[in-house]
Amino acid sequence: MTRSRAVKRAEFHTLKRIDNSRLARPIASGRLREMARLIGLGSLLTAAALFYAWQHFEHLQLRYRVESLKSERSQASELNQQLKLEVAGLRAPSRIDEIARRQLRLTMPIPGQVAPLEGPFEPVVAQVRPSGSPRAQ
């Protein structure tokens, strides 16, 4: 035979049609227990990680809230101090005297112009009457 000739080979493909849908693969009970244990352990670890993350973010939010409240408290304290100073200035007797003389044109009373109020020397206490009783006259 000469080398110049090429040898042709025929290729065959066989196709087997096998229905494996009715076959059931047996599962080892030890493998099922191991998978259940791994799933339980993974669930436990996931729950612990989520709980830690929830606590961490809650802690951060509370810290921000505390800082905000501290800021509001200091602002309220400053406002309170300013208002106390303003009230003290408004209650000053010299200021009240100035307003009475200039704006209201009040003067010092003349001797004999002011008389003490005459009335009972014992305190009078109001009494509550039942709603159905007649008024005393």
How confident is the model over 8-67, as pLDDT tens digits?
788 877 888 888 888 888 888 888 999 999 999 999 999 999 999 999 999 999 999 999
The sign of the dihedral angle between the CA atoms of 122, 124, 125, 130 is: positive
Q: In which band, very low, low, confident or very high, does the pLDDT at 79 lie, cut at 50, 70 and 90? A: very high
Give the pLDDT score at 49.
98
State how far the Cα of 109 lies from the Cα of 100, in Å rounded to an integer. 13
Return the SS3 of 14: coil
Query: 103 to each of 48, 90, 106, how far by Cα in Å?
Result: 75, 15, 8
Q: Is the pLDDT reported for residue 4 higher than 60?
A: no
Q: What are 85-109's pLDDT values in tens digits? A: 999 999 999 999 999 999 998 988 8
* Ranges 24-28, 75-79, 118-122, most confident: 75-79
Dump the DSSP string for 36-97. Answer: HHHHHHHHHHHHHHHHHHHHHHHHHHHHHHHHHHHHHHHHHHHHHHHHHHHHHHHT-HHHHH
Q: For residue 2, what pLDDT is reported?
A: 52
Residue 6: per-residue pLDDT:
63
Q: Tell me, what's the pLDDT at 46? A: 98
Please give the pLDDT value at position 75: 97
Alpha-carbon gap, residue 101 to 108, rounded angstroms: 9
Number of H helices, E strands in the chain: 2, 0
Instruction: With 0.95 as the threshold, say if the pTM is over it.
Output: no
